[in-house]
Amino acid sequence: MRKSRLVTKSLLFAISGILIGGAAVAQTVGFATLPPGAINNITTQVIAKVVQQNTKLKIRVLPFRGTQAMQTAVNNRQAEFGITEVASMTSGLNGEAEFKGRPLTNLRVAFRIRTLSIGVFVRKDSPIKTIADIKGKKYSSQWSAFPNAIPLSNAIFGTAGFTLKDIDGVPATNIIRAADDFKAGKTDVGFFAVGAPKVAEVNSAVGGIRFISIKKTPETLAKMRSIRPDYFINTVKPSPINAGIAKPTNVLGVDVLVDVGTHVKDDIVFEFLNAVFSNKAQLVKGHPLFRAFIPKKMARQYKVARYHPGAIKFYKSKGIWK
């Protein structure tokens, strides 16, 4: 009987070891993003679902109020991955602008997703027709929780020769609050990413919106890039998900990336990227914006932002690292 009990205990310990080992393999990683309603939140949710379905990783989506907070979380090991755009990441790495004196030295690039298109919009019956017409109008300001809106706004306004200092500022903490203020009639001009769920909500609530097109010339591009060199002018076309775009419209474009902390192991990054690279159809099923995602262009090179060693290993295995 005593021998039988010893055998039973040994089996239980063995089974426990297997279960513990299995739990260790199914590692949970945090994925930082913006609040619900933002296009980056939708992007993160879709990627997280696809990675979970095709790996042993468990993804915990972590909403933050702004890009600065997201990048800081990844840098400080509060999250493993995050979603950002290359211009903001460059500022973080260099300790510039909203990151002045606090360089985020632990950030690396995991992959490029696509071009993020950001613009300003008005009610469809507004007399505001051009970027120049926005000068002196009511527009969100301060952006305490989303300081990235400051260079983005200044880059758009700069194409017409003015800045945020030349508008009638209405304090807002982040993009969701700013959109709600526009919806409530507190501002004349809204600011958001084209195709975001929040934009569709605002469009429906106010009876229609219209994104204002930026003049696309070498001069306006130079003015935009004087704010941040990674910005460019991108033309978006009408589609069912692009509320406020009734004809080809020029807006600000910037590459949106998934960043990753230096503390994340190479094999986790490799596994994460393999799931994304190999399952575009599942990503598109999650949201149409992933039609613009090109797996072979995941490894676009940048001047300042560097790739994680695990990402470089993955891209070399696929023959797309240059």
The domains of the chain, with CATH numbers, are: 27-114+257-317 (3.40.190.10), 117-255 (3.40.190.10)
Tokens representing 133 are: 């017409």
Residue in this structure with the two tokens 């305490």, named with its chain if needed: 144
What's the pLDDT tens digit per position in 67-86? 999 999 999 999 999 999 99
- Top pLDDT among 15 and 284 is at 284
Q: Are strands 58-63 and 190-193 parallel, antiparallel or unpaired?
A: unpaired
Locate 19 and state its tokens.
């279960």
- Measure the CA–CA gap between 137 and 123, rounded to whole angstroms: 13
Look over the chain and give the mean of its residue pLDDT values, rounded to a whole number. Answer: 92
For residues 147 and 66, is the Cβ–Cβ distance under 8 A? Answer: yes
pTM: predicted TM-score of the whole model, two decimal places: 0.85
Q: Give the residue-averaged pLDDT of 5-32.
A: 54
How far are the Cα atoms of 19, 117, 203, 225, 243 from residue 254, in angstroms, in the given order? 45, 7, 23, 11, 19
- Name the E strands within the chain: 28-33, 58-63, 81-85, 107-123, 138-142, 168-172, 190-193, 209-211, 232-236, 249-261
pLDDT confidence of 25, banded at 50, 70, 90?
low
Considering only CA atoms, which of 292, 259, 284, 255 is closest in space to residue 273? Answer: 259
Q: How confident is the model at residue 19 (pLDDT cuts 50, 70, 90)?
A: very low
**Cβ neighbours, 10 Å, residue 230:** 20
**Beta strands, E only, 137-243:** 138-142, 168-172, 190-193, 209-211, 232-236
Closest CA to 258 of 235, 283, 233: 283
Distance CA 46, CA 40 (A): 10
- From the DSSP assignment, how many helices (H) and strands (E) are in the chain? 11, 10
Q: Which of 246, 256, 228 is nearest to 154 (CA)?
A: 228
Contact by Cβ (8 Å): 125, 280: no
